[in-house]
Amino acid sequence: MGKYLICITGASGSVYGIRTIKALVEGGHEVHSIVSSWGNRVMERETGKSLASWIGELGLPPERVYAPEDLAAPPASGSFRLDGTVVVPCSMSSVGAIASGLCLNLIHRSALVSLKEGRPLVLVPRETPLSLLDLRNLTVLAEAGAVILPASPAFYQVPQNIDDMVNFVAGKILDRLGIDHNLYTRWGT
């Protein structure tokens, strides 16, 4: 099984990160995580649960959840081997920092390490509308090798509830990491 880092920033849509972690853990993968301080605040607002509650519910070992200000944590180093890093949701401030090569926190540093090491980096922006600056920063990151995967659920599978839409986005993330799943019904099946 693989070893993945899932980062949650302060953009709305923390459920996408939570569902991705859940799917990876249920699939037997080793999951590490970083949640920014604003990511934690938004998570509490959107789900009614704190990061600590989610860690227990998802079965994440606490020693694999890193403080965003801890730039000495394992994901800060290229020698810490990962099969992929996902920032979901990815705030536009994080997009801008990563595109500029700024290491303002461990999430930014981990994303930059993934790029420099040539490892999969999936960024899931949830912002709308996008400004010209956002589009340019996303272009820089795509040119550097990141996968830009907007949190845009499809409707061809006729979602019955919000969970179906969240599952679609989490499934697309797993697709980009090359991980089999059954989170959504594929077109033509």
Q: Which residues contact 163 (CB under 8 A, 6 or more apart)?
A: none
pLDDT tens string 86-107: 999 999 999 999 999 999 999 9
- Binding residue ranges: 10-12, 36, 91-94, 103, 126, 156, 172
Hey, what amino acid is at 64? R
Spatial separation of the C-alpha atoms in residues 183 and 44, rounded to whole Å: 24
CATH code for the structural domain at 3-176: 3.40.50.1950
Residues 181, 48, 107: CA angle, nearest 5 degrees: 60
pLDDT tens string 28-83: 999 999 999 999 999 999 999 999 999 999 999 999 999 999 999 999 999 999 99
Q: Max Cα separation, the chain?
A: 47
168: left (phi over 0), alpha (psi -120 to 50) or beta: alpha
For residues 13 and 39, the answer to whether their CB atoms sit within 8 Å is no
Q: How confident is the model at residue 189 (pLDDT cuts 50, 70, 90)?
A: confident
pLDDT tens string 140-170: 999 999 999 999 999 998 999 999 999 999 9
Task: Supply the pTM of this predicted model.
Answer: 0.97
- Binding residue ranges for FMN: 10-12, 36, 91-94, 103, 126
